[in-house]
Amino acid sequence: MPTNPFAYEGHTMKSVWLMLALGVTLTGMNNVNARDNKPTATPVDAQSTDDPFLWLEDIRGSRSMDWVKQQNAVTTKQFVNNAEFVKTRDSILEVLDSDARIPYVNRMGDELYNFWRDQAHPRGVWRRTTLAEYRKAEPKWEVLLDIDALNKAENKRWVFKGVQCLKPAFERCLISLSPDGGDAIAVREFSIPHKAFVKGGFELPVAKTQVGWIDENTLYVGTNFGPGSMTESSYPRIVKQWKRGTPLSNATTVYEGKPTDLAISAYHDRTPGYERDFVSVAKDFFHSELYQRSGDKLTRLDVPTDADADAHREWLLVRIRSPWTVDGTTYPSGALLATQFDSFMAGNAHFTVLFQPDAHTSLDSYAWTRHHLILNLMDDVKSRLEVLTQPLMATPTGDWKREAMPGAPAMSTISVIDTDPDHSDEYWLDVTGFLAPATLERGVLGNVPAETIKKEPAFFDAAKFTVSQHFVNSKDGTRVPYFEIAPKDMKVDGSNRTLLYGYGGFEVSLQPHYSGSIGRAWLERGGVYVIANIRGGGEYGPQWHQAALKANRPHAYEDFAAVAEDLVKRGVTSAKHLGAEGGSNGGLLMGNMLTMYPQLFGAIACEVPLLDMKRYTHLSAGASWMAEYGNPDTADWNFIKTFSPYQNLHKDTHYPPVLFYTTTSDDRVGPVQARKMAAKMQAMGISNVWFYENLEGGHGAGADNKQSAHMHALAYDFLWDQLK
C-alpha cells in the first residue's frame, strides 16, 4: 500500500497519533516518518548507570558526529565504493524514480490529488488532475507546489509531510513540511486557486504539531506552546482553538492533559448535517478517552479505553481490543460493532455485530462510502473484502446487508486507499501480491464494477519465482505463518542465500506486497525472501498482538527463531546462508536475534533500531511505547532486561556479522541506540560490526528516493556479501 500524504483526512485523531508515534519502518515496503522537538535524553547525572557510551547520546555533538563520520567512512569503503553497490543502488533508484509507477491519488471534490517524486523532482511536487484526464496513459497534471523550487527559493531542505484541505470547497489547505524528514513539522496555510502560501495566513513553526480545520477562520492546534506544553512522549499535551488574525498566544485552551499522557488532540467533523467536535486523550499507545465537545462541555463516549470509536454520520463504530460486556452480551476481542450515535450518547448501548473474528480471520481495516461500509479482512494473512450496506433507517439494531466483493487474487493484499463518503459510493482499491505488480482499481458500489485504472510495471521477471505459505509451531506450540518467495528451480540443499524479514509489534501486519526493489536487489540474484508473521503483529487481530506484549515479548523472538529453524529443516537454507533484517521495533527483533540466537544466522541488518531498553524511555519519543514494552524505571525491568540487546552482549560469544543503520534526524527512535550498540560491540573486540548513519530522512532513513535507494542497497549488498 502506498504511503498516503493525505493521512489525516478520514482518520480519528487517535489513529493519527498512533501513526505519528509508531516506530514502523518496513524496508522495501511502507515508511512512516517522524521527528522530535525536545531534548533527546534525560541528563546523564539523573541516571544511575555505568554506561561508557552515554556520550553518543549527544546526537549532534562534535565528538558524536566525528565518530559517526569515521564509521561511515569505514562502511562506505567496504560496501559502497564498488561497482556492485552502484549497480544495486541504481537498479533500486530506477524503481523508485520510474515514471511508470502508479501516481496514487486522493479525491478532494471534483479533483484528484497526488504527491510525486522522481529524478527531476527529488523532493517532489504536489499536483492534481481530473478523473477523465487521470484515465489517460499520460495525464496532464496541474502542479500546485514544487518542493524543490521552494527549497531553492528559501535555501532549505524541506520534506513534504502531508496536507489538509478545508472541505467542501478544498481551496484552503494546511501544508506540513519537515526540515529534515522527521516528525516535527512547520505548518503553512496554502491557497489552491493562487497556488501560493497565504500571506499573513495560519503558520506554525517547527514542532510535533497536530492541527486541523474547524472552519475557514478557526483551527484546532496542539503544538509546542512553551515549557511544559508537551508530554513526556514529546507530543502535544495541550490543544487550543486558534482564531485567524490573533496571535497563537491568545488561542483558547480546549483541553489540557497530563505530562504522562501520550498526546492530546481535537478535531472537527465537517460532514454536512452531522457536524461534531471531538477531543481525544491518548493515555498510551492502546488506551484513550474520546469526548464529544459541545461548547465548553465535554461528554465522554462510554467505550473501553482500549477500543477505537469512530463517529460517522448517524453511526458509531466501535472496534474492541478486549472482550466487552454490554447489556448482558459479551463481544469478543477484535469485533467491530455498530450503533446509532445519538442513541448511544443518550445511554442506549445496543449494538449490531458487523465483524466477529475466528481462529483464521481478523479485521485489517474498514472504509466508509456514502451508503456502504467496506470491510478489509485477512484470512491467514491474505485479503478479502466484504461490503455492508447500511439499513434504510439508522436504528441501533438495524439490519446490515452483507455480500462479498469478488476479485482478490491468491496470496494478495487488497487495500481501500480512498473513498468519497460525503457524496458517493466511489472506491479506489490497490491490489498487489509478492509477484504481482500493483493495480489501481476504481468502482462505484451498486453502479460501476471495479475497473483497472492504472497498473504498476513489472520491475523483475516474476515468472522465475513462486510464492508459498508455510506454518511452523513456535516454542510454546503456537502455529506461526510465514511467506516464502523463491526461485522455481530452487535446490533444497541448504545452499540458498535467504533473507528473513520480520517486525512483530504494535499490531502491525506484514501482508503480501510487490517490491521491485526486493525483486531486483535480492530475488534476481537468486536469493530467497521470507516474511515471518510473528506474534506482536496484527495478523490475527488484537490477541495476536497482545500475546507478545511486555513480559510476553520473547514470544515474538521465539516465533522468528522457529521460522529460521524451519527454513533450515526444510532444506531451503542453512545458518551460514540465512540473513535477517528488520527496522525500528523490527530492529529490536534483530538485536534479540543477535544476542539470543546468534547461531541461527549468517548476517543481520539492524535498521533504525531500539536496542538499549534500559534507557529507551529517556531517548527521543521512547516514553510513548511503554504500553508495548513496559517501564524500565520500575519493576518491569525484571522482564525487560531479558530482551534488551544492549545489556545482553557478552564478550565471549560469537556473533554473526551485523550492519546497524540509522539517521541523525530520526527523532522517533533516534540514532543513539544503533550508535551505542555498534560502539559497545566494537569495544568488546567483536569483528564484523558495521555502522552507517544518514543525516536526513527521519525514521524512514531517506529524505528522497536517492537516499532511500542508497540505504536499501547498503543493507542488501551487505547481506548478500556476508551470506556467500
User: pLDDT > 70: what percent of the chain?
Assistant: 92
Question: Distance between CA atoms of 391 and 401, rounded to whole angstroms?
Answer: 7
How do the domains of the chain map onto residue ranges?
71-94+459-722
Helix, strand, or coil (residue 386): strand
Question: Distance between CA atoms of 210 and 8, rounded to whole angstroms?
Answer: 10
Question: Distance between CA atoms of 552 and 557, rounded to whole angstroms?
Answer: 10
Phi/psi for 3 (5° steps) reads: -65, 130
- Amino acid present at 368: W
Of 699, 708, 710, 712, the catalytic one is 699
- Amino acid present at 332: P
Measuring CA to CA, which residue among 152, 150, 171 is closest to residue 160?
Answer: 150
CATH 3.40.50.1820 fits 71-94+459-722, yes or no: yes
Read off the pLDDT of residues 657-702 as tens digits, 9 standing for 90 and up: 999 999 998 989 999 999 999 999 999 999 999 999 998 878 887 8
Give pLDDT, residue 41: 42
Give pLDDT, residue 6: 26
Is the previous residue joined to 323 through a cis bond, with omega within 30 degrees of 0?
no
Measuring CA to CA, which residue among 11, 65, 13, 30 is closest to residue 671?
Answer: 65
Question: Distance between CA atoms of 178 and 239, rounded to whole angstroms?
Answer: 21
Q: Clarify whether 687 is annotated catalytic.
A: no
- Amino acid present at 476: D
DSSP-derived secondary structure letter, 132: H
Where the chain has pLDDT below 70, the residues are 1-49, 393-398
Question: Distance between CA atoms of 501 and 29, rounded to whole angstroms?
Answer: 11
Of 265, 584, 624, 708, the catalytic one is 584
Q: Are 646 and 612 in contact (CB under 8 A)?
A: yes
Contacts of 612 (CB under 8 A, 6+ apart): 51, 619, 644, 646, 647, 672, 673, 676, 677
Give pLDDT, residue 285: 92
Q: At what angle do helices 672-683 and 585-596 cross, to 10 degrees?
A: 20
**Cell numbers for 641:** 532486561
Give pLDDT, residue 293: 98
Measuring CA to CA, which residue among 344, 215, 198 is closest to residue 267?
Answer: 215
Helix, strand, or coil (residue 355): strand
Question: Distance between CA atoms of 304 and 309, rounded to whole angstroms?
Answer: 9
Question: Distance between CA atoms of 226 and 239, rounded to whole angstroms?
Answer: 13
Question: Distance between CA atoms of 417 and 200, rounded to whole angstroms?
Answer: 34
Q: What residues form DSSP beta bridges with 485?
A: 467, 529
Q: What residues form DSSP beta bridges with 268?
A: 277
Q: Are 259 and 44 in contact (CB under 8 A)?
A: no
DSSP code per residue over 640-671: HGGG-GGGG--TTS----EEEEEETT--SS-S
Question: Distance between CA atoms of 723 and 715, rounded to whole angstroms?
Answer: 12
Kindly calculate the radius of gyration of the chain based on its CA atoms and give it in whole angstroms: 25
**Cell numbers for 569:** 529443516
Contacts of 88 (CB under 8 A, 6+ apart): 520, 521, 713, 716, 717
Q: Of how many residues is the chain composed?
A: 724
Give pLDDT, residue 349: 84
Q: Clarify whether 584 is annotated catalytic.
A: yes
